[in-house]
Structure formats: structure tokens, C-alpha cells
Amino acid sequence: RPFQPTKIKRLVKMKNTIIYIRVSTQRQVEHGKSIENQLKRLRDYCQYNDFQNIIEISDEGVSGKSQNRVGFKKMMNLIKNHQVYNVIVYSLSRFGRNTIETIQTMELFNKLGVSLHSLTENLDTSSSIGRFFVSVLSSLSQLEREQIGERTKSVLQMKKQKNERVGQISFGYKLGKNNKIVICEDEQETLSIIKGLKRKGLTFGKISDRLTELKRVSKKNGTNWSKNQTRILFNKYCLS
């Protein structure tokens, strides 16, 4: 039996439309961006577009950069549970903490079949122009991420060439003067002991016991050596 369009329409109408609002500072309230001001315009928009099952969620007095946005988290839980069809916001600046998060959220909405409407930007991602807008933003965001990655890689390579610290210092080395990486003679000797004992056929358990007896110092556990720690050092530094 074929699907009936009227049934599909009823299923869609069962889902909710969320009005999400956020005001973070007193200054915004004084300049007409109060909760009441946003709500009126968003409600009028919903009424004009005949959106049903309206849920109003707000984060009042919360900065957009804050991780603790209770209302935003509640909205995302409803969306991930497939209970939402539309999300209406006053502006994109009232929505995500930053550009990248906003774009990532918009991409998630697209995957879950949720339309985002922003009054200030006149954005409706259910339209072809709205989807094009999202695709352009996504491309720009991807370009920005790649450029950041390239710059980071370049800086790290330069630091390595100068023997400067990059992340965690490898076993067998230490931080010397002027933040330069230098050889740690004691740890290099430990690596030689591990390599020599392994050549004699000792298990990693026996080697770790021997290192503990010799009071050889590790970076993490002092003079207490484990079989797993010894195995990792051997595989990483003693096989070449």
C-alpha cells in the first residue's frame, strides 16, 4: 500500500518547533535585545509561518562562550531524540559560541532533518538558498581548519629543527637550558639495559623487575617499573 502524503504531513506536525533565545548582558537588555523583545519577534515569525507545537527555551544572563548553557543543552537533547522539526533564533550570534560551533551545529541539523531559521540573517535552511548558505559557510570553515592545521604543523616543525620542546619529551631526553631538548644520559642508559636484557631472552616482566631492583628512574612511576611500561619503551625506542 503506497504512502499517503497526508499521513506524512501529520507525522511532521507532531514534531516540535523550538524558539531558542539568549541574552547575556544588561547592556543587550537596555538596547532592545531583551528576552521579551526576542520572544515577540520569534512568536510572530512562528505564527506567520504556521509553525505548531512551540517550545520556548532560553538562556538568560549566560555568555555565548559559556559551556554551561542549560537551555541550549536541553534543545540539543530534544533534537538528537528526533523530537524537533524547526529551530527559530533571533540571530546566529545568539545561537553558537563561535563560528565553527555554529556551522557544526547547522550541519548536524541538516543530517537530522531540522531546519534552522534566523531572523536577523533572514536564514531558512529548509530553502535552497538557505542550504547553499550553509554549504558556503561549511566550506569556509573547512578552509580555516586546514589553514590552522598547516600553520600549526609548520610551527611544530620549526620548533623541532631548533630542538625546542614540542609536547611531551621523549624518554631518553630532557629539557635543558633555553628550553632546548638535550640527551638524558641516565634514561639512555636505561634504554641500553632494556635492549641488552631483551637480547638475552628475558621477558618484559623479568626486565621490569630488574629495572626496579636497579632503581632505574622512569618518567611516570619513579623506580617502580611495570611489564607494560617496559614493553612500550622497547617497542618505541629499542627496535631501531
Residues annotated as part of the active site = 24
Beta sheet of 115-118, edge-to-edge order: 54-60, 16-23, 84-89, 115-118, 123-124
Nearest to 210 by CA among 228, 186, 195, 193: 193
**Euclidean distance between CA atoms 211 and 190, whole angstroms:** 8
Q: In this structure, which amino acid lies at residue 4? A: Q
Strand-strand pairing, 115-118 and 84-89: parallel
